[in-house]
Amino acid sequence: MDLFLNLVASGLVIGSIYGIIAIAFAIIFKTTGVLNFAQGEVMMLVAYTSWSLATSLALPFWLLVPVTILAAALIGVVIEFVFIRPMSGQPVFSIVMVTIGLAITLRSLIIMIWGPDAAPFDASVEGGLIEIGPVVLFSEQLFALLLFCAVSAAVYLFFRFTRIGIAMRATAMDETSALLMGVDVRRISSLAWAIAAVVSGLAGVAFAVMFARAPDMWFQGLQSFPAAILGGLDSPLGSGAGGLIIGVIAALSEGYIGHGLKEISGFIVIIIVLMIRPYGLFGEKELERV
């Protein structure tokens, strides 16, 4: 039983990371219709930037988070402006190809700047081991869980109540109508990339704090992909929940069945789920009024 609970807990922790990245996938997909294959790399870039800020300026952790958010937003806006803005009006498939190219470029860029070696992220969360009943977690792991809750809540409130959040949903539903309401649709796209960079970047920092900042972190982006599909790509919160589900399934299948299953279990789950619900667990069905 203890093994089971500990597996679930570590599944939830890694699932939080998947979930947050999946939220970032969903935000960009929902507002612009583009599947950003470079989300994992954007996450890695933000984590590396944050690491550099933390080591060079010796920032305390509470200060590092807001600074990272600012840097991430800037990275998101610049990437959107340089790579995505010139592609507007092109078929979505072409833009998706650009994001694949962007992914590989960012990976190489990071190795060029920071080198191929991993390094520990020292600005770690203090607290050491925390015991909750039979479950033992590091404070860094607890941070990831809390971050997931905070990001989910913030994303929910943003899309539900703020005017710009409602405008982003509106743009996703009917771009021309949004234009006619006076929404500057280009700014919405840039904002979506900024938010996605911030959200996934925080996940990157949480991940780097738990393990290390290393040039293979982008793989978490690929792992989050089934989470976003599972939850429904047009539903940020659903994608987040999908992340938790995939994380727990990965941890359980690794713990009980075998070592290699961690990476593929998520993909097996989405294949089965999509056969039953093609729009994902929490995705929006096309609304039709007859």
Partner 1 sequence: MLRLTNVQIMYDRSIEAVRDVSLNVEPGSIVALLGSNGAGKSTLLKAISNVLYPEEGEVINGTLAFEDADLKRIAADEIVRRGIVHVPEGRRLFPLMSVEENLSMGAFLKTQAQMKADLERVYTLFPRLKERRNAVAGYLSGGEQQMAAIGRALMAEPRLLMLDEPSLGLAPQIIDQIFETIVALNKEGRMSILLVEQNASLALDVADYGYIMENGRVVLDGPARDIAGNDDVKEFYLGFGESGSRKNYREVKHYKRRKRWLS
What residue ranges bind partner 1 (CB under 8 A)?
Answer: 89, 163, 166-167, 169-170, 173-184, 284, 287, 289
Least distance to partner 1, CB of residue 110, Å: 36
CB-facing half-sphere around the CA of 76: CA atoms within 13 A:
30
Cα–Cα distance, 27 to 235 (Å, whole number) = 8
Whole-number minimum distance, CB 183 to partner 1, in Å?
Answer: 6
Assign 27 to helix, strand or coil: helix
Compute the least distance from the CB of residue 170 to partner 1, in Å: 5
Closer residue to partner 1 in complex, CB, 54/183:
183
Is residue 31 within 8 A of residue 171, CB to CB? The reply is yes
- The smaller minimum CB distance to partner 1, of residues 53 and 169, is found at 169
CB of 172 to partner 1, least distance (A): 9
What's the CA gap between 240 and 261, in Å, rounded? 21
DSSP one-letter string for 30-81 = HHH----TTHHHHHHHHHHHHHHHHHHH---HHHHHHHHHHHHHHHHHHHII
Q: How far is the CB of 95 from partner 1 (least distance, A)?
A: 15
83, burial (CB in 10 Å: exposed 0-12, middle 13-18, buried 19+): middle
Nearest residue to 114 (alpha-carbon basis) of 40, 27, 10, 44 = 44
Q: To which H or E segment does residue 138 belong?
A: strand 135-138
Compare residues 89 and 133 and give the one whose CB is closer to partner 1. Answer: 89
CB of 61 or CB of 156, closer to partner 1: 156
Residue 130: strand, helix, or coil = strand
Q: How far is the CB of 114 from partner 1 (least distance, A)?
A: 40
CB 99 to partner 1: min, Å: 21
Residue 145 · residue 83 · CB < 8 Å? no
* Closer residue to partner 1, CB minimum distance, 67 or 284: 284
Whether the CB-CB separation of 12 and 244 falls below 8 Å is answered with: yes
Closer Cβ to partner 1, 58 or 173, answer by number: 173
Structure tokens at 7: 């597996």
Cβ nearer to partner 1, comparing 224 with 235: 235
